[in-house]
Amino acid sequence: MNDPASKYFKCTDRERAIFEAGIKLGAIYHQYTGIPVNESNIEYIQKAIESATMLQPFVENVKVKINLNAENDTKFNYKSLNGTMLEVDLTVNYNGSTARAKMKYLRDLNYPLMYLEE
């Protein structure tokens, strides 16, 4: 593992993996919401988010699913991607320690929650 920034951190490997997972989910929500999406380009957008997230430090795996049904229709034939439509499953591995984090809209909270599953 190559980490040119390790000297700046005061934490365990597990904590670092968790921190990096938080960064990636915060980034996904605030970078991609607003993109026009419908059935015709949903796979391109999912693939773009996944491929860009994979470039960020220590991401081992990421799966993105956009739920088009989560939003009401407009008079135009697309929707603006928002947090309630996003489902993300992310694994970060820092020096062998892993964190598995998710983003998912939860009806009981009426909120797209980012949480640590493992």
Which residues sit at the interface with its own copies, rule CB under 8 A? 4-5, 8-11, 14-16, 18-31, 33-38, 40-41, 44-45, 47-48, 51-57, 72-78, 80, 82-83, 99, 101, 106, 108-111, 113-118
Tell me the closest approach of the beta carbon of residue 96 to its own copies, in angstroms: 17
Task: For the chain, list the strands marked E by DSSP.
Answer: 36-37, 59-66, 79-80, 86-94, 97-106, 111-116
Minimum CB distance to its own copies smaller for 76 or for 96: 76
Q: Tell me if 103 is assigned to a ligand binding site.
A: no
User: What is d(CA 7, CA 24) in angstroms, rounded to the nearest whole number?
Assistant: 21
Tell me the closest approach of the beta carbon of residue 10 to its own copies, in angstroms: 6
The residues, any chain, with a CB within 8 Å of residue 71's CB and separated by 6 or more, are 79, 82, 84, 85
Residues listed for the chain: 118
Which residue ranges make up the annotated binding site? 20, 114
